[in-house]
Amino acid sequence: MDRMNLPADQLVCLVRDILLALEVRSVDAEIVADNLVEAELLGYDTHGVVRLPRYVHEIQQGQINLSAEIRVTHDFPASLLVDGDWGFGQVIANRTVDLLVERAQRQGVASAGVFHSNDVARLGSYTTRIAEHGLLGLMTVNDGGGSPHVAPWGGIAPLFSTNPLSFAAPRDGSPPVCVDMSTSICAASRILLALKEGESVPPGLLLDAAGQPSSNPGDLFSSPPGSLLPVGAPWAGHKGYALSLIVDILSGALTGAGCSGADARETQGLYFHAIHIDAFVGRDVFTKHLEELVERIQSNPRADGVEEIRIPGERAILERGERQQQGVTLVPAVWEEIKRVAKTLGVTM
């Protein structure tokens, strides 16, 4: 079966129309559609429209509240806690970033936590927005229940979600540095994509339910399920496990959203931190040091077969340029699911 290629704007319209058919508020439908297609353009296929059928199901099951009223429950000069009222994660996260940026610009630093949130998809979308305001941005996300995929180091039963984190820093004349990573060795959605495409996964990513190495993506979603290994496995998985624990403490315990394994319902806890550079050395000094570091990194002697050493976030920008011109290509399994959803909802394609 051939892959489907669509112009990005056409794909945005399709995703938006599917959401509107479910009576999603138009402004929310636009935010979610833009977010998912942006992920596709940047090469994060695992965080793009592959998630749309899941969102449709969650809307139909009442897990996503289409009438959500986002509100601040704890309000301090340099911090806030937000109740997302079970709305779309993208809408909640964008609103929280707006509030966070305003406080960081005024106070020098600011933190924000969110509870009662659904899936936010790609974290780099939000930290990049913070960096585009000239601030340093950090975001961590956990899942208190619903989708555990990572065992604690030394265990074999999944307990943690992939507990991703993102950090972004502004640059002058270049896109922000953007680190966007799971604390598991890969995203669970990458294993799901391999399963949908009927492919095996490389060794060293996955354990089956008995704790044995596996290349079968179905083992992650079996009953009982297998587990993803943490970053650093097999020799230094304790480091990825420690990072995952930090994410859980910030996103789950500090926000009150709940830590991994606490709830059967999928509920994402979000933690944000923003730093105004002028509260420290100032933008000019910061930029000088950062750009000198970038130069030293990129002029480092390259290993055989390496054409260039890239800064985190650069690959995604290059990918965006290509996909804007050539269109977004969807694997057959994902495209068939979207067509099925559209047909069920009476959306013209």
Judge whether residue 203 has pLDDT over 70: yes
pLDDT tens per residue across span 204-250: 999 999 999 999 999 999 999 999 999 999 999 999 999 999 999 99
* 75 bridge partner residues: 80
End-to-end CA distance of the chain: 19
The three-point CA angle 56-69-264 to 5° equals: 55
pLDDT tens per residue across span 170-179: 999 999 999 9
Q: Which CATH class is domain 68-185+237-301?
A: alpha beta
Three-state DSSP class for 87?
coil
Q: Helices 314-326 and 26-41 sit at what angle, rounded to 10 degrees?
A: 110
For the segment(s) 1-66+314-349, the CATH number from 1.10.10.60, 3.20.20.150, 2.40.10.220, 1.10.1530.10 is 1.10.1530.10
Give percent above pLDDT 70 in the chain: 98
Burial 150-165 (b: 16+ CB within 10 A, else e): bbbbeeeebbbbbbbb
Domain(s) of CATH 3.30.1370.60: residues in the chain = 68-185+237-301
Structure tokens, 118: 């659904």
pLDDT interval class at 347 (50, 70, 90): very high
Task: State CA 133 to chain mean position distance.
Answer: 20
pLDDT interval class at 2 (50, 70, 90): low
The pLDDT score that the predictor gives to residue 196 is: 85
The pLDDT score that the predictor gives to residue 90 is: 99
The three-point CA angle 122-128-131 to 5° equals: 155
* 328 bridge partner residues: 6
Q: Which has the closest alpha carbon to 41: 14, 16, 5, 2?
A: 5
What is the average pLDDT across 119-137?
A: 98
The pLDDT score that the predictor gives to residue 197 is: 85
Judge whether residue 128 has pLDDT over 70: yes
Which residues 6+ apart lie within 8 Å of 304 measured at CB?
none
What is the average pLDDT across 279-306?
A: 97
Which of 42-46, 165-169, 262-266, 327-331 is modeled with the greatest confidence?
165-169
Structure tokens, 32: 């979610």
Half-sphere exposure in the Cβ direction for 262 (13 Å, CA):
15
pLDDT tens per residue across span 250-276: 999 999 999 998 766 778 999 999 999
Which residues 6+ apart lie within 8 Å of 13 measured at CB?
33
Q: What is the dihedral of CA 245, 246, 250, 252, to 10 degrees?
A: -10
- Distances, alpha carbon 165 to alpha carbons 20, 66, 182, in Å: 31, 27, 6
The pLDDT score that the predictor gives to residue 176 is: 98
Q: Which has the closest alpha carbon to 143: 89, 185, 209, 105?
A: 89
Domain(s) of CATH 1.10.1530.10: residues in the chain = 1-66+314-349
The pLDDT score that the predictor gives to residue 1 is: 60
pLDDT tens per residue across span 66-84: 999 999 999 999 999 999 9
pLDDT interval class at 280 (50, 70, 90): very high
What is the average pLDDT across 126-152?
A: 94
Q: What is the dihedral of CA 260, 262, 264, 268, to 10 degrees?
A: -50
Which of 80-84, 159-163, 326-330 is modeled with the greatest confidence?
80-84
Judge whether residue 116 has pLDDT over 80: yes
What is the average pLDDT across 304-331?
A: 95
pLDDT interval class at 192 (50, 70, 90): confident
